[in-house]
Structure 1
Amino acid sequence: MDLIVADVGGTNTRVARARREADGWSLHEAQRYPSREHPDLASILEHWRHEYATVDTFAAAGLAVAGPVHQGRARVTNLDWPALEAATLGERLGMPVTLLNDFAAIGASLDALQPGDCETLQHATPDPAGLRLVAGAGTGLGTCLVGPPGRPAIYPGEGGHARFSPAGPEEAALGDFVTRELGYCTREHLLSGRGIARIGQFELDRQADPELAEALSARDPAAAIGELARAGHPAAENVIDRFVGLYAGQLADMALTALPTGGIYLAGGIAPRWVDAFRGPRFRCAFRNRPPMTHLLEQLPVALIMHPEPGLLGAAVCASRSATP
């Protein structure tokens, strides 16, 4: 079975052919398109199909979208495109189309991941009947709850737009810094690519640093700060350390709300690039620092998804349910 799958984000749209084999899913002819350089999703899909697809017939399409999806209709949160409608796209493509939230797609990918697709950040025994939590920072911050393994229940959320809750005076000062800029501070305002730049600016305002200032003026400040940190630059390392601590703390707040005893999974484009920082003690200490519930958080398994395209994988899983064999 061959499917068209796409992961539609505010920055990039990734398209591929998904094929289900006896031992799992494989992805082929994957291409990345700058989303803002195209007028809509259908034009991207048609270009990919004409230029890159190596088969003519597809059973269905699964399209993961960075935004809420309701009754087969969606808008990409950080992209000025017309609304997406599954029925209209299906008519244009000539196949059944499944629209789903991008983090619902990552949630759907969990049972299709292979053992080597995840990096363990906190060892604990998962409850086979427990909920699972997926969260990930990239262009924005996505969240999703997933039912136990073998059950396709997926509960997309918009937890990234909840207000940021600081843990201590340093984080409160950072939240005030963002509030002065934007009028309020959400989790996504800090846990995203633009959030890394805001953390960097916060550090720069406290202490001048020409190299950090240069990184902040780059086209992709988050990537530039990461490169600077890998070179051992103290101010850039402070930015990453603060980002990791913030990420862990907000993840702990989400975990205490849902109690995902089946496991917590980090996704998104940022954390896999900084896996060494997430393996370190800063993440675990900040994640557990929610007294009097420290003991409860210590019992939750936490993993970082290292599969390069979990959104495409999950889109394939969901689309396959509507495909004609």
Structure 2
Amino acid sequence: MDLIVADVGGTNTRVARACHDAGGWALHDAQRYPSREYPDLASILERWRSEQSSVDRFSGAGLAVAGPVRQGRARVTNLAWPPLETTHLSERLGVPVTLLNDFAAIGSSLDALQPEDYEILQTAPQDPAGLRLVAGAGTGLGTCLVGPPGAATIYPGEGGHARFSPCGTEESALADFVSRETGYCTREHLLSGRGIARIGHFELERRPDPDLQQALATADPAAAIAQLAHAEHPAAKAVIDRFVSVYAGQLADMALTALPTGGVFLAGGIAPRWIETFREPRFRSAFRNRPPMTHLLEQLPVALIMHPEPGLLGAAVCASRSVKP
């Protein structure tokens, strides 16, 4: 069985061919396209199929989209494309199409991932019958709840657009700083690529630094700040440390709502690149800092997904369920 799979984001769209055998799922012919350079998703898929695909016939397509999906329709949250519709895409591609939220796709990938695809951040017993929470920062902040392993039920959400809940005076000052720009402060305003830049401007206002100012003036401030931090630049390290602490605290808030005893899983494009910082005690301390429920948070296993394309993998899993054998 060969499937077209895509992970559609506001910045990039990743497309590949997925196939399944006795060893599990494998991805081939992967290609990345700048989303904003194309008028719609079908144009990207048609280009990939003509230029990259090594096979001619497909059984179906699984398309993971960064935005809510309802009754076969979706709109990419951070992209000015027309709405996506399964019927239209099926006609353009000539195969059945499964459209799903991008974090529903990542949630669907959990049971297909291998042990080496995870980095453990907090060790605790995993409840085989417990809910699982997936959250990840990239262009935006995605969230999803996943049922127990097996034929797991997926509960996609939009928790990234919930209001940011500050912990302490420093985070309150950060929330006020962002609110002056946007009128309010959501989790995604901080936990995203643009959020890293906002934290950088917050740090710069408190502690002027020419190197940090120069990094913030680049086309990709998050990458420039990360490069500075890798060189042990104090102001850049302060930005990343604050980002990690905020990330951990918001994960804790989401975890207390659902009590995902099956595990908390970080995804998205940012955390895997900063794995050493997430391994540090700062992350675990901020995650547990929700008294009087610290003991509950200490009992939740937390892992970082290191698989390079969990969205594509989960899109394949979902699409395969709707393809006739």
Deviation at 1:318, TM superposition (A): 0.2
Aligned to 1:256: 256
What are the within-5 Å matches in structure 2 for residues 128-139 of structure 1?
128-139=128-139
Letter in 1 for 2:5: V
TM-fit CA distance, 1:183: 0.2
Counterpart CA distance in 2 for 1:230 and 1:21 is 40
Q: What is the number of equivalent residue pairs in this alignment?
A: 325
The residue that corresponds to 1:313 in the other structure is 313
Partner of 1:167 in structure 2? 167
Question: What does residue 105 of structure 1 align with?
Answer: 105
Q: Map 1:138-149; keep pairs closer than 5 Å.
A: 138-149=138-149
Per-residue deviation at 1:234? 0.3
Cα distance per residue 1:80-126 (max 9 Å; x no partner): 00000011101111111000000000000000001100000000011
RMSD: 0.5
- The amino acid of 2:10's aligned partner reads G
Describe the superposition over 1:138-182 as per-residue Cα deviations: whole angstroms up to 9, x where unpaired. Answer: 000000000000023000000000000000000000000000010
The C-alpha deviation readout for 1:209-263, integer Å capped at 9, x for no partner, is 0000011011110010000000010000000000000000000000000000000
Task: Report the equivalent of 1:221.
Answer: 221
Three-state SS of the structure 2 residue aligned to 1:58 is coil
List gaps (5 residues or longer) in structure 2.
Answer: none
State the alpha-carbon separation in 2 of the partners of residues 256 and 152 from structure 1.
21
Aligned counterparts, 1:1-325, within 5 A: 1-325=1-325
Q: Secondary structure at the match of 2:13?
A: strand
1:307 counterpart SS class:
coil
Looking at structure 2, the residues matched to 322 and 289 of structure 1 have their Cα atoms a distance apart, in angstroms, of 43
4+ aligned runs moved over 6 Å, structure 1: none
Return the alpha-carbon distance in structure 1 between the equivalents of residues 51 and 117 of structure 2. Answer: 30
Question: SS in structure 1 opposite 2:128?
Answer: coil
Structure 1 unaligned residues grouped into runs of 5+:
none
3-state SS of the aligned residue for 1:10? coil
SS at match of 1:222: helix
* CA apart distance, 1:37: 0.1
1:46 positional shift: 0.3
Residue identity in the other structure for 1:126: Q
3-state SS, counterpart of residue 239 of structure 2: helix
Report the TM-score when normalising by structure 1: 1.00
Letter in 2 for 1:195: G
Identity of paired residues, percent? 80
* TM-score, normalisation: structure 2: 1.00
Q: Distance in 1 between matches of 2:58 and 2:96?
A: 9
In the aligned structure 1, how far is the partner of 2:282 from the partner of 2:192?
A: 19
